[in-house]
Structure 1
Amino acid sequence: MPTITPHYRSVRELLQSKFFAIDDFQREYKWEKENIDELLTDLRDKFLSSYQPDHLTSDVSTYEDYFLGSIIVSKRNAKNYLVDGQQRVTSLTLLLIYLHNAVKATDDLLTSSLKPLIFSNDNGVPKFNLDIPERLSVIKSLFSGQEFSPDGKDESVQTIYARYEDIQNKELADELGDALPSFCYWLMNKVGLIEIATDNDNYAYTIFETMNDRGKPLSPVDMLKASLLAPIEDSDQRRNANQIWKKQVLDLITWGGDHEPERDSACIKAWLRAQHAETSRERKAGATDKDWELIGSTFHRWVRDNDTHLTLGTQSANLEFITTHFTFFAKAYQLVLNASRIYTKGLEAVFYNAHNAFTWQSTVLLASLCVTDDDATVRRKIAVTATYLDIWLMRRVVNYIRVGYSSTAYAMFVLCRDIRRKPLHELVAILNDKLANDDATFDGSPSRGRMGINLSRDRLTVPGIGLL
């Protein structure tokens, strides 16, 4: 039987001469400045509640303990794989590097105590205890005090560098003054965590999801990546898929030069709804959520629960889903974002709809696309569908019909389902037919008793394609 064993570890016991790694399905290092500030403030205040100016460093043994929570590790290949806790372990490592650098010129004994918590001798091979290859360059530079540029590096490297700067800017060493050595010994010996260790790697994803899908959870994007990577057994292919996923996420959240951490989630919701939602909640009291609504709230669970429908669950299928489908729809989504912000020839209607604050546009414009479409076809399909939406919206606006998020949700679900993965000529025919049979026109909406406006607008044209 697999075992799960909890142990209380001080920071010294947890980190000294041990090596920690993470699996590919783990999320990036995502702590923000506020998280670091809160950690440092809590540690400082707890320490100062016991410290007195006349105390010796040996008096630290009588100070109150401080509990940092729990971590989960899977022990294999002489490493501790962090299933849950890499955010705290990484942040602790950054704090220890800062303290090591602050005392190394003045206190050799303390420096020699701090160093094994950061950097160890692994059978004659010097190695950082946080043994995550893509992050070693920044950890090494911070530890050695070398210049380092995070520009162009992956998200975790940029975040690690930024959080270390936040620690430096907090000026904890200057604030503590003569109390700094005592603080270091207190941190090593009186601050602790519960280490929950499992000896069965098959438990990793289950524990990962269980521990993080409540309280302050991982983002659904992280959870989705974890479930998609889990069946990919070939380590090289899994690593490559992970890098592709990370690049797409980074491109999304940094699109347009502004950092928006929820943009990756918005893209995936739009993609899954547009391409895969088959059902929607009935419009009556007490109805339960279906595909359309579930994707909008917990899409990582929806994908897991619908892996058969999505033909997922095997190495080849999941690789294709990440490397082909995600990359294709992330690119198309960014095209829509760009045309929404910048008036673009041929995609004018996208700009109009965005400036009319029609929030369903990004979802609907992905519905007709196929991963085999070339760039020109993608643009034409987006242009045609956006023009349809422009007419559909304006017909309702002039008739004082609501076009808000909730009031149009079901209509957009039906539209996505009707145009899903249609060839361009079929898409045009479907949209023309919908406009021709629409109850709402610029002349009014008889079923709603609306009179419309006197406007001659019989035909709008996308280059080479007429729409009624």
Structure 2
Amino acid sequence: MGSDEIRSQGFSLKELFRDVTYEIDYYQRDYTWGEDEVRTLLRDLCGSFRNWSTNPSYLRRPHTAPQYFLGPFVYYEPSRNRRYLVDGQQRFVTLHLLFLQLRLSAQERADARAVDRLNRVITTDGEHFSLGITDHEPVLRAVAESRKYETGVGDSLSRRNLWARSQQIESQLAEELDAENLHRFTEWLLDRVVLVGIRAASSDHGYRMFETMNDRGARLTAVDLLKSHLLSHVGANEDELNTQWHEMLRELVTDREDSTSTSRFIKAFLLARCAREGLDEDRRQIDSNLNVWVRQNAAHLGLVPERPDNFLHFVRDLLKSARLFRPFLAAGRALKTGGDRLETVLFNERNGLSCQAVAILAAIDPDDRPSDAKDKGRLVADYMDRWYALRVLQDLPVQSADADTLAHDTLVPLLRKCRTVADVAAALGDLVTQDAGSIRDAVTLGLRGNNAHQIRYLLARATAYVEEACQRPHDVLAYLDRDRFHIEHLWANHHHRVHKEIPDPVVFRSRRNQLGGLGLLMGRENSSINDLPLNEKAAYYARSNVLLGIIAPGYDQRNPLLREFIKTHKLDKALRPFGPRETMTSVVQTRQELYLGLFEHIWNPERLGLPVPPTSEPEDGAQPPARPRQAAAQRRPAAGRR
């Protein structure tokens, strides 16, 4: 290889990490990828995998499927099987975290082939990681061994971020893919995902390339290109458009570390108000190249040179919508209770329903009053939260693709027609009547391998609901934190204790994992009592939340608020203590009914402000009368939209 000769080569992921160690030089920055970058990478990978896995011809002949290009990276190779990364560290580290989480899942499934293949890319010799970054090793080791990494005061930013992104990947994988698809996803990932390696001749040559790549100024983003396009056509209003644009940016930047909030907002705005209904290509291109989509659809948007005013109106609508959307942007980062009552916005974000932004913006008109916009968005977020809970209770998939279908195919067309808060409430109330199934049908729902996140969410909402009603201090975010609160099994994993009642060990395991056999308990308490019989645990439960404490005899004495809650909600037969002679089956069934009853209150449409029309049987086969609703004027389209 010549002194400054540059070579390139394509690598599949299985080839990229085969018997090779990757290291970084001193001038490289920390691992800094945030939640959004990791979410985008995983969603892109999982989306491409779904396209591949639903194509019969690709499944029959995998080698004919197009490869997924993950971009280039730059490296130099000082010795055989040892490479230094010049550019690409963030993707390499994220891929390594993904491999580790996939291997943990494969180990749980006893998928020996997947474990073996992942071992080959995770380590070079079964012990040393393929990414030889010393600072990362303690975190990677903890992830590999499925144990919590305890961050310390002296930990680097990379270590803290590695642990956070590892937890995110674990949760997002469960949201994006069913357990039965993880094996095929692993095969596809290793075989069909490729990067192109650009090889520098030496360390010095690599450093010069690094300087060149980083000294040419920041690359223009799609948002920058869109702004440039709009400015070039606005005519005499250029200064005003530029001012409005910067005001919009200020509205959207609620977190200085989040560099993609503006791009996400503009994409959501276009999908909510401008994309053509039923046209998947619009959605795909807005998501990947929003500036290109705006240029190519100028006539559809009315953004044509002979109408320069439309360009300014378009940006004005963006700014007004950004101001109205700001409370929801903030609510997606921190819990907003009290007067705002926007807590479900945060819950939806944590549950993988980030597409709620599109549905909320479809309901909001740029000229809405702030209070009306907030009410509309709250209704949409509450409806999506209820949809998620019902899907979990009915054991239906709640992956991001399912939520996207709800948002784009159902909610956006419906909400675009709504003008007032009452219109939004009525439209969503009508949707509620179309939701199949009943909460009370979930009589056997319980914990299994891939639904711990969803079960924890149900338990957290029920626990917080009762604590709040009894005016007790509580923290729903702590309940959702798996390190602070554990999912507690009322029955320890000792079949022999109930062998006479339940002879079959499979039935015992199933019943033990039912929702009625679970609760939330602080981690340190759970660790100290998890092996005790239920009647001995009850005394410890009395120090915990109401839903566990009530199991202890006498817990409701001297607790008038709890007794009032039981009376008001008609839960006297379910929210009660249990004596030592109660059977496991009786306790689990009773508490299963308790949880389902609480869920009916929590997600009661009327409580959420979603009016459900009364059901009545028409006489003599006649059609039921049309439901009266407020007449709404045709909604004003987004500026520039035809």
**TM, length-normalised to structure 2:** 0.35
Q: Give the number of the structure with larger relative contact order, counting CA–CA contacts within 8 Å between residues 6 or more apart.
A: 1
